């Protein structure tokens, strides 16, 4: 990548987990970054780590907040537009996960707002600043296609995100719209989904990053992919 014309990536939920691991690889590869997260302290720590390798703009806030999404759009304009938008921020919901018949509906609304409405809201906010041929990467899960008991809230929200991505791709053929299952990862969210259990057998998020990058850099058509299907990915469980 040319140092005189670096690409720009906007990565939501970039203070930990896959978002941070992907952002670190991108900035080391010469990308300019816009990152966000809800937690101020965690975002500041991520910024310090990433800014040592390149230009990073951190915007603290919640993607479910329209004002924050507008701030992301203003920041994107400052950098001359976005080549890659990664909708990684999301919400698990209650832990342990309740059965659907016991799921608090007001909480389910929050999960859908974070996992379905907010990603579309981010895309709508920055649409004027997406460069020609931009890549939109929506992070999904196998829970969006498999019927895991106890995962009805989170899983159905990811299923909704997948269909949203599918229609978005059909309506916008000039973009590459990917909905990507990164595989099981040893993250705070995954641990919260299995409270009290040992998840040390799950790979770290860094194991999924090579597959994510290979997809981003490819010319593959819009669609659903798994990080593990790419040659550069580390095997996952």
Residues designated catalytic: 154, 158
**Rounded distance between C-alpha atoms, residue 62 and residue 105, angstroms:** 21
Structure tokens at 84: 């890659």
Structure tokens at 5: 């014309």
Which residue's structure tokens are 């899960």? 141
**Rounded distance between C-alpha atoms, residue 228 and residue 73, angstroms:** 32
Sign of the alpha-carbon torsion through 214, 142, 27, 66: positive
The burial of 111, by beta-carbon neighbours within 10 Å (0-12 exposed, 13-18 middle, 19 or more buried), is given as buried
**Rounded distance between C-alpha atoms, residue 43 and residue 34, angstroms:** 11
């Amino acid at each position: 990548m040319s140092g005189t014309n670096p690409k720009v990536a906007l990565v939501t939920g970039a203070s930990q987990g896959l978002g941070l691991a992907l952002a670190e690889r991108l900035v080391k590869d010469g990308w300019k970054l816009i990152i966000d997260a809800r937690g101020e302290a965690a975002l500041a720590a991520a910024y310090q780590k990433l800014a040592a390798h390149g230009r990073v703009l951190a915007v603290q806030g919640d993607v479910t907040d329209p004002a924050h999404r507008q701030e992301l759009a203003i920041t994107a304009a400052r950098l001359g537009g976005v080549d890659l938008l990664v909708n990684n921020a999301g919400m698990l919901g209650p832990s342990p996960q309740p059965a659907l018949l016991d799921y608090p509906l007001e909480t389910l609304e929050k999960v859908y707002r974070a996992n379905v409405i907010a990603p579309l809201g981010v895309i709508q906010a920055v649409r004027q600043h997406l460069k020609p041929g931009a890549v939109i990467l929506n992070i999904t899960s196998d829970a969006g296609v498999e019927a895991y008991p106890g995962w009805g809230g989170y899983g159905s929200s990811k299923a909704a995100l997948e269909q949203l991505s599918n229609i978005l791709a059909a309506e916008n053929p000039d973009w590459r719209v990917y909905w990507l299952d990164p595989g099981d990862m040893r993250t705070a969210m995954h641990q919260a989904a299995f409270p009290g259990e040992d998840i040390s057998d799950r790979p770290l998020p860094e194991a999924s990053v090579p597959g994510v990058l290979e997809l981003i850099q490819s010319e593959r058509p819009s669609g659903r992919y798994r990080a593990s299907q790419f040659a550069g990915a580390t095997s996952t469980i």
